[in-house]
Amino acid sequence: MLFGDPGNDSWLELAVQLNFPKEKYTRAPAGAFVQDAFGEIFVAHRGKLTKGNAGLQKDLVLSQFKTCVLAQDGKKKNRVILIAGLEHEKMVDKLFEFALEARDVATRIATGLVDAVDTSPDSSIGKVRQKGVKSNVGPMAKLSKYVAEFYGESTTNPPVVSGTRIVKHGAIVAALHKALGGGDNLRKSQAVDLAAIRGGTVDLFEVKTSASTQDVYTAVGQLLIHGEGISSLLEMPVRRFMVLPQNPRADFIKPIGEELGARIIIYCEKAGSYSFDGL
C-alpha cells in the first residue's frame, strides 16, 4: 500500500505490503485469509513488518495489535492480525487504516519505545516491556497513546466468537473514544479498552459486545484487576465504567455498583456508529 499526494512527482512511500500466496500454499507472504467458526472470511496479516532495510521481530509486532487471533495455519497454529471481513462494505478503508497503524507500530519498535517481548508458549499476545515504565507493575497497567484497534479482543485459542463480533468491539471502542472528545488524555493498552486521565483521576472503560453472564463476570475481573494496576502505576484514584449493549441481570446491578464501585454505560447503534447513555 502506497501513500502520497495526487499530482506530486515525488516517490511514493510504501506503507505496508500485503501479498498473498499464488497457486502454492506458503507462509512467506505477509497476507493471509482466515475463516471464522461461522464461515466468514477475513483478510489478515502475519506481522511481517520492516523499517528501513531491517525486518522487525515478528512476535514484537504482533504484541502491539489487539486484533491477533490464533488460527489454524496448515498443520500449525499461528497468530495473525485480523484486518477486515472480505465482504465488509468498507474493507478498502480498513486496509488503509491498518497500513497507517502498521507504520506507527513499526516506528515505535524501531525507535525503541517497545524493546522486549515475552515469546514463551503461554504468552499468546506477548508481554511487552516499555522504556520508562515501573518494572514492578504488570503489562496490563501500561497505558500508551490511543490508536484505533480496528477490531478488538485478542484470543489465546481458536475464536469462540465470530469475527463479526470482534469487528463490532473495535467499532464501539472507536465511537466511545470520539464521544469522550479524543485528545491526548485518552489512553489504552493491550488489556485496557480505554482510559481517560482527567484532573488527577483515571476513568477506566471496559467494553463488552453482550451483557451475558460470562461477559459481565469478565468485565468485573478486568475492571478490578486493571484498575488496581493503573492506580498503583499512576498513583491516581480510578473510576470504573462497564460499557454494555443493555443492563445485565438485575441481581448483578447492585454488586457492580456497590462492591466494585463501577457505573454501567449503555450503548446503542445509531446511523452506522454508536451512542452512549450514562457518560
Tell the burial category of 71 from Cβ atoms under 10 Å away from its Cβ (0-12, 13-18, 19+). Answer: buried
Q: What is the mean pLDDT of the chain?
A: 75
Distance CA 38, CA 207 (A): 23
Report the pLDDT value the prediction gives residue 11, as an integer from 0 to 100.
Answer: 64
Distance CA 179, CA 275 (A): 8
In sign, the C-alpha dihedral spanning 226, 228, 231, 232 is negative
CB 16 within 8 A of CB 107: no
Report the share of the chain in percent with pLDDT over 70: 73
- Find the distance separating the first CA and the last CA of the chain, reported in whole Å: 38
Q: Model confidence at 222, in pLDDT bands (50, 70, 90)? A: confident
Helices (H), the chain: 58-62, 91-110, 163-179, 213-234, 250-258
Q: Is the pLDDT score of 265 beyond 80? A: yes
DSSP secondary structure of 125-177: S--EEETTS-TTS-GGG--EE----TT----SSS-SS-HHHHHHHHHHHHHHH
Report the pLDDT value the prediction gives residue 5, as an integer from 0 to 100.
Answer: 65
Q: Is the pLDDT score of 145 beyond 70? A: no
The SS3 call for residue 109 is helix
Return the domain boundaries, the chain.
1-132, 134-279
- Report whether CATH 3.30.450 matches the domain 134-279: no
Out of 71-75, 160-164, 243-247, 267-271, the most confident range is 243-247
